Chains A and B, each alone.
Chain A
Amino acid sequence: MNPLETRGKSRIILWALLAGALILYGFPFLYLLLTSFKTPLDAIAVPPTVWPEKWTLENYVSALSREGVVAALINSVVTAVISTALSLVLAVPAAYAITRFRTPSGRVFIVAALVTRMVPTIAIGAPLVETMRNLGLSDTSFGLALAHTTISLPLSIWLMASFFEAVPDELDEAAAMDGCSRLQALWKVVLPVVGGGLAVTAIFAFLASWNEFLFALLLTSVRAQTTPVVIANFQSQFGLDWGGMTALAALYSVPVILLTLFLQRQIVAGLTLGAVKG
């Protein structure tokens, strides 16, 4: 038991405080969900109500029937999957090299990878517009996935390095004794051990792409547009369709929120790794 754990009557007050904090914290998304089930007119009623007077799927139907919305949802999935795969393929060998060989080049590399996290997105996004045009990748999911990988790759390297670090060197050595080459040792022995870490890294790479906005805004226009851009366009393009916006936002967020419920241990591990260890 943690020595900071409180006993006795004051626990009741603490529970009440925590419950209050959680209600405040949970309310915004609950309100989004409730609004999405109101009629479009009730959604913008003055004064607003918390609870829908009439439950309806009208907002969902109208949001999904808008031009480009379904395509944008598909684009979001495609882009995020490509970007996640690319991040893992590039990050795993790099992180393995950094943690296993501890060469000066590896140290330079992990610092450099961390530093890229600090670069303002616009400083990369604007020049990438021309790069993608030159590569013939303007307004394609692959081009956008490449851009998203600039965000997820440094993160993936950092996370994978932390997971590899936890695997004792002896495991590789034992594999080498048994005749595995270094690459075989990585592929057949070490990688299965860090399977959980690989999953965590994949989740974070996926989320980075799923939620990204600025690259998507700059690099796509019609064909490859992802959902965050479409959600943002709801207000200008279709007038003030708050009902439709809340429906699409709910559709887009609920799957990843469910993900946190099912994979919470892995996600907590990913979020706190490095920060606590380092």
Chain B
Amino acid sequence: MRKGSTVASNTPQIPVGAAPAAAPMGGAGHAPATTIRRRSRKQLSENAFAIALMAPAAAFLAAFVLWPMIRFVYDSFFEVSPFAGAPRIFVGFANYATAFASEAFQNAAVRTVAYTLIVVIAEFVLGLAVALLFTALGRRSAVLRTVFMYPLMIAPVVAGLLWRFMLIDNFGIVNELLYRWGILSSPDQIQWLSDPDIALFSVAIPDIWLTTSFITLVLFAGLQNIPGDVIEAARIDGARYPRLLFSIIIPLLRPVIAVALIVRGIDAARAFDIILIQTDGGPQGSTTTLSLLIYRTMTRFGDPGLASAMGTVYLVVMLAVAITAITLIWRPGSSAR
């Protein structure tokens, strides 16, 4: 604006914004031929400009995400020695055959699904309950929302270690408090992290603690957008709270719920540090999810080829789920963008 006068002479030549760029394409049919030609040229240059602006980010993602991913998939067809410079032998799909036949892989896949379900279901139920509480209490509860948010900022490693410390068999505070309140008959009654039957639940606790607030915040924001008259109308019709919740609130929140659950589900399925730090996959492998199994196969058992094959299967499934979810719910091409 300050330069307005000095560059004013250029204005007619600057195509962008001179004509209504946002005009619907359908209107072009009524315009004179010259306008159409100018518009198409303008679009061409806009397209080139847009690509130029996206190029650096695209190049970065290609170099540091796409290329490593291709290499990772490529490795899955070889027997790779963990030592640098050692020969690699092409083995076709042998690594995949080994992976699918291996019980460790099958179990880890089941555990990954179970872990994801535990985390997502618990977070949804707790997150929705707290979001409804905050909504019911209105403006006065705003300060407390901040308090509720703080675990989101904590590193998963810290959360994992902290909960391990609190759940540890002999001096964990959780069992001690449960014992003092008379819920447990002895302070080491529940072996949170060393009983293989419950360890998968226990390792999920810090994850739930860490990110339930995310679901709460998202659902709370969604709840504020529910039109008041719908609720009032239902109230007048005599709907009670449970009915209101299941027939009106949850259906209206469906898109928000879906996005929140997908985001969390994908993160939970990739959970690594939080489990590694608590149990290192034990006891008896009961918390070895896919990301831990792949990591171990790669670094400790020194079989990058097999690890890559497992990882590729994992990757393909994740991408398939993610892409399906995005096209079904986000629809970036149609509604939002």
Contact = CB atoms under 8 A, between A and B. Distances in A.
Asked if A pairs with B, the answer is yes
Interface of A: 1-6, 11, 14-15, 17-18, 21-22, 25-26, 28-29, 31-32, 35, 44-48, 50, 89-91, 93-94, 96-103, 105-107, 109-124, 126-128, 130-131, 146-147, 149-150, 153-154, 157, 161, 169, 172-182, 207, 210-211, 213-214, 228, 231-232, 234-235, 242, 245-246, 249, 252-253, 256-257, 259-261, 264, 267-268, 271-272, 274-278
Interface in B147-202: 147-158, 161-163, 165-166, 170-173, 176-177, 187
B57 interface: yes
Contacts of A175: 1, 17
Nearest to B46: A101
A120 B69 CA distance: 10
B166 A169 contact: no
A113 B54 CA distance: 11
Given A48-B176, A122-B295, A127 B72 contact: yes
B104 interface: no
B154 A231 contact: no
Interface of B: 1, 3-4, 6-8, 10-11, 14, 16-18, 21-22, 46-47, 49-51, 53-54, 56-58, 60-61, 64-65, 67-69, 71-72, 75, 130, 132-138, 141, 144-158, 161-163, 165-166, 170-173, 176-177, 187, 209, 214, 217-218, 220-226, 228, 231-232, 235, 249, 255-256, 259-260, 263, 266, 270, 272-273, 276-277, 290-291, 294-295, 298, 304, 307-308, 311-312, 314-315, 318-319, 321-323, 326, 329-333, 335-337
Of A28, A93, A102, A106, most B-chain CB atoms within 10 Å? A28
B133 A45 contact: no
A176 B16 CA distance: 7
A190 to B, nearest CB: 12
B46 A103 contact: yes
A45 B171 contact: yes
27 contacts: A2-B135, A5-B135, A6-B136, A21-B148, A22-B147, A28-B166, A31-B173, A114-B330, A114-B332, A119-B65, A119-B318, A120-B314, A121-B270, A123-B69, A126-B307, A127-B75, A210-B155, A214-B295, A232-B273, A249-B162, A253-B155, A257-B153, A272-B217, A275-B218, A276-B218, A276-B256, A278-B259
Contacts of A116: 61, 65
Contact of B336 (A5, A257, A278): A278
Contacts of B176: 47-48
B336 A3 contact: no
Please provide the 4 A-B residue pairs with the shortest distance between their CB atoms, ordered closest to farther.
Answer: A176-B17, A173-B17, A179-B7, A97-B53
Nearest to B130: A21
Nearest to B273: A213
Given A18-B137, A94-B57, A271 B155 contact: no
Contacts of A11: 136-137
Identify whether the interface residues of A are mostly helix, strand, loop, or mixed: helix
Contacts of A157: 57
Contacts of A178: 1, 3-4
